Amino acid sequence: MLPTSLLLLLAACLQHPPASASTSFLTDALVKENQVQQVLEHQPAKDTTCRRDTTLTGPIETTLCDYETVESVNEELFTNLSELVKTPFFKYFRVDLYRDCPFWEENGFCMNRECGITTVDESEIPEKWRAAALSKVELPSSEQRQSLPGCYYRDSDYCFLDDMTEGDYIDLSVNPERFTGYIGPSAHRIWSTIYQENCFGMKDAQDAPGMLFAASRHAKTMYRDLVGVGDGLAPATQDGQQCLEKRVYYKVISGLHASISTHICAEYFNQTTGEWGPNLACFINRVAAHPERLQYIYFNTVLMLRAVSRLGPYLSAYDYCSSGTHEDDKRTLDVVGRVVGLAREAGRFDESVLFRGEDANVLKEEFKQHFRNVSRIMDCVGCDKCRLWGKVQTTGVATALKILFELDEKALDPRSNANLLQRSEVVALINTLYRFSESLYVVGRFREMWAAADGEGGERILKEAEQPDTARNPKVSPVAGRASKDAEYFYVRIIEWIGACRRGTVGCVSAVVEGVRWVWGACSAVFRVSGKERGPGRVEF
């Protein structure tokens, strides 16, 4: 039975029937016609639907009336988060980008200079945030964690966390997530492997051999549908026989994928003009032509908001002291307070309806193990910048899942559990919420571009969107940036490799291996056949 508060909220929503739900992509029914127009001509709500007599398009699963609620607060949310992620506490993230891929031997390094990142010297980081200081108060004991080389997890964790003694400090504000040219077989393998982690029920396959085939076919069907190469089947998440927990898991993964695709299209490099900017054809190809993908971004936004809402007292009591300037620290606390307030208004996710029943614990452990594996797959990404943001966002989502499904109100009390989360988890949580909020915000820019295009211009954009990335931007390839660009990129990487060697033997060995692979890839590219006779490659979502 639903909680009384949710029943009252539902009753309030039902007073306003969905007058135009049949014409909105924000409905349970899968849109089959005019998908692009549905997305790009949609007018977001400016007021919370459940409080005002406006058009209701329906609830997001496990939430009530939250499409409009999210739309009504997102501009303010995005504005506050944009300010928050630039503050000293939230812009510095320590991460190990040189761990080996645990699933295969990765040799698909991105040779584009945009794949590189800029690190921060430890001397620029406030001492209390450095690894030596944090490991004294945050690192759990060996009895509390399961360790692997360079990373670990606790029983309550939904992802692997980097060892605090390894890795680099990154200023996220100067290493934005955007198009890098990292496409092709390596990028394809990352996402196909992640979607294979959707296969629940493997433990039961020994008792029921048919379940193994069904789970494998289920993940394959979902992946085909989500990347736009399906056979016309309905999305796997519409299967009525699936339990709610599995549908939630699929939406979390798909929403993360769709959000990353939106960021790439919003910050796309035009090889012709040499400028960065939104690429409408890219957005149509990757997201707008598949409206359910945008729905999943809404879903993840609500999930993240609910986690921030629950964590509100902890975040409000957290010590963000950075520069020692009282005004700066007060400003950070003020913005955190505004974000928490918006999260309480829009974060209407009902986590209590999940993981119930006699198999709840088994299902939850399987859920956690799947997402932990997704976090480890990020170590296989061949582009440093892509790997960075992949690790940030999987850590952020995993932190939200832990807050919702592992921690009770007593555990969330900052007075009794001051070191509940690591600093990296807090930073990742806020930055990931910012990524989802920004995805919804930049959709407005794409809608403006679509509205400004005349009939002939719209047709041209749609035709362009049908082309793969390599056809729309022919200079982009898995081995991009030749001649002067390669020289510039190689120079930057040499500086980073020298820094890795200074920090320790493990990082130095990884840097040398990467350098050898880079040189080998660059030399091989000189003698490689262009591949034009094969035609354009398949679109990567």
Active site residues: 383, 386
Whether the Cβ atoms of residue 262 and residue 297 lie closer than 8 Å to each other: yes
Q: Give the span between the Cα atoms of 223 and 254, in whole angstroms.
A: 9
Whether the Cβ atoms of residue 227 and residue 191 lie closer than 8 Å to each other: yes
Q: Give the span between the Cα atoms of 229 and 335, in whole angstroms.
A: 43
Q: Give the span between the Cα atoms of 288 and 77, in whole angstroms.
A: 23
Sorted by sequence, the CB contacts under 8 Å of residue 484 that are 6+ apart come out as: none
| Strand duo 151-154 + 168-171: pairing | unpaired
Strand-by-strand arrangement of the 119-120 sheet: 92-95, 168-171, 119-120
Q: Give the span between the Cα atoms of 148 and 154, in whole angstroms.
A: 12
Tally of residues, the chain:
541
Q: Give the span between the Cα atoms of 270 and 267, in whole angstroms.
A: 10
Instruction: Please spell the DSSP secondary structure of 495-507, one letter per residue.
Output: HHHHHHHHH-HHH
Between 185-196 and 244-266, two packed helices, what is the crossing angle to 10 degrees? 160
Q: Give the span between the Cα atoms of 242 and 232, in whole angstroms.
A: 20
The C-alpha angle with vertex 12 and arms to 10 and 14, in degrees rounded to 5, equals 70
| CB-CB neighbours of 276 under 10 Å | 15
| Strand duo 92-95 + 161-162: pairing | unpaired
Q: Give the span between the Cα atoms of 224 and 363, in whole angstroms.
A: 25
Q: Give the span between the Cα atoms of 7 and 13, in whole angstroms.
A: 10
Classify residue 101 by its DSSP letter.
P
**SS3 of residue 229 by DSSP:** coil
| CB-CB neighbours of 18 under 10 Å | 17
Sorted by sequence, the CB contacts under 8 Å of residue 488 that are 6+ apart come out as: 113, 481
Q: Give the span between the Cα atoms of 185 and 229, in whole angstroms.
A: 16
Classify residue 536 by its DSSP letter.
P
**SS3 of residue 93 by DSSP:** strand
**3-class DSSP string for 286-316:** HHHCCHHHHHHHHHHHHHHHHHHHHCHHHHH
Instruction: Please spell the DSSP secondary structure of 384-400, one letter per residue.
Output: HHHHHHHHHHHHHHHHH
Q: How is residue 397 written in tokens?
A: 């989502």
Question: What type of residue sits at position 45?
Answer: A
Classify residue 284 by its DSSP letter.
I
Classify residue 100 by its DSSP letter.
P
